[in-house]
Amino acid sequence: MKTEMKSTCNLKLIVISSPTPVSNEAENINRLFEAGLKVFHLRKPYSDFVMIANLISQIDSKYHDRIAIHQYHTLAGEFGINRLHFTEMGRNDISVLELLKIKEGGYKISTSLHELSSLTEVSHFDYAFFSPVFDSISKQGYQSSISADFILEKPENAPAVIALGGIHQENIHLVKSMKFDGVAVLGIIWNEEENQRVVVLKNLLKTCEKNNCP
């Protein structure tokens, strides 16, 4: 079965939340959705259940099906969320059979990789983040693990692979030539002033739309 990530030639763009609180965060997220964002990953490793539930409740409910949550997966049913992300540690704590049951329940599932050799182990996921592709913007000292002339060679039945780490307007076009299926951004959005975040997103979306398959 082809997934949403695999069914189009356009380079997909995902925004990941700031790991720490942001002023007017829900309002900022709503604006990103209004500007055309299709998938938003809510990753708050330092926030508790109540804080994340409160944040989701402030995001317009019409966008909840575009949100993927990284922790407290039980919130999905409460808010009509159908995307679940599993960290590398998290996927080791759940069986493939359980993951397949989650997918049968109508959820899209994703995970994270730091070694491309692990692609053979995650074929049951819809897509996987691979990082760092470029030197990270949000994490100092988190440097690229691949060469400038890298070309992704996916094994058979591998999920879509989303490039993460250090992606910005000047290098996003390289992701397509590297044969990634999409890009995920974090620092390039949240390091900007609040009134510039939508502008940055729109520019990234335009670049992604231009990078279609031949």
pLDDT, tens only, 143-195: 677 887 899 999 989 999 999 998 988 888 888 889 999 999 999 999 999 99
pLDDT, tens only, 188-198: 999 999 999 99
pTM listed for this prediction: 0.90
Q: Where are the domains of the chain?
A: 4-210
The two three-digit tokens of residue 139, written as one number: 């994490």
The two three-digit tokens of residue 33, written as one number: 């959705």
CB 120 within 8 A of CB 158: yes
3-state DSSP of 30-87: HHHHHCCCCEEEECCCCCCHHHHHHHHHHCCHHHHHHEEECCCCCHHHHHCCCEEEEC
d(CA 173, CA 200): 15
- Contacts with 190 (C-beta within 8 Å, 6 or more apart), sequence order: 17, 18, 22, 138, 197
Q: Which one of 3.20.20.70, 3.40.50.300, 2.30.40.10, 3.40.50.1360 gives the CATH number of domain 4-210?
A: 3.20.20.70
